[in-house]
Amino acid sequence: MSATQFENLCTGLCAVAACAPLQFAVNDAGARAASLMQDGVEVTLAHDPSRGSGHAFVQVRFGSLPEGRELAACIALLQTTSLMLSAQSPAFGLDPVTGEVVLHHRCELRSTTPPDLYQMIVRLCGIARDWRDTHFLP
């Protein structure tokens, strides 16, 4: 049932965002994911029953760390994560394959609406675009 809720949420998101329907990749364990572009930022939506059947996972790809300032940028990301800390807050990480900065967020399927999800994605993509310009550094 939760996989159906996830796909319904994504279908509604595409209607709100006026984008093409998402094409899901599904693994043997039933985890599914699809990506879309929002204002030049890649966003992946995923559902993995083994990690939380009642949740959708949103991953916003920020991009590469600034060359020569990697440590300062990582410290800025850790400080930003601390400032956002709450029960439902997103967290920064590094993609283990590409080394790119990603922002991970989890949302409850039962309470998240397609317009809520779209507004969250727009907001997080705005933060990603800001980060690409400044890397949160002075």
Q: Torsion angle of alpha carbons 28, 31, 36, 40, nearest 10°? A: -100
pLDDT of residue 136 exceeding 90, the answer is no
pLDDT in tens, 116-127: 999 999 999 999
List the chain domain ranges.
2-134
| Predicted confidence (pLDDT) per residue in 2-12, tens digit | 889 999 999 99
Separation between Cα atoms, residue 104 and residue 57, nearest integer Å: 7
pLDDT at residue 45, as a whole number: 97
Write out pLDDT tens, residues 77-109.
999 888 888 878 889 999 999 999 999 999 999
| DSSP tag of 113 | -
pLDDT at 52: 83
Residues 94 and 102: beta-carbon distance below 8 Å: yes
Which is it for strands 91-94 and 101-108: parallel, antiparallel or unpaired? antiparallel
pLDDT one-digit tens code per residue, 28-59: 999 999 999 999 999 999 999 998 889 999 99
**Predicted local confidence at residue 47, as pLDDT:** 96
Rounded to a whole number of angstroms, the CA Rg of the chain reads 15
Q: Going by CATH, does the domain composed of 2-134 fall within 3.90.930.12?
A: no
Which of the four pLDDT bands, split at 50, 70 and 90, describes residue 1?
low
Is residue 112 over pLDDT 90?
A: yes
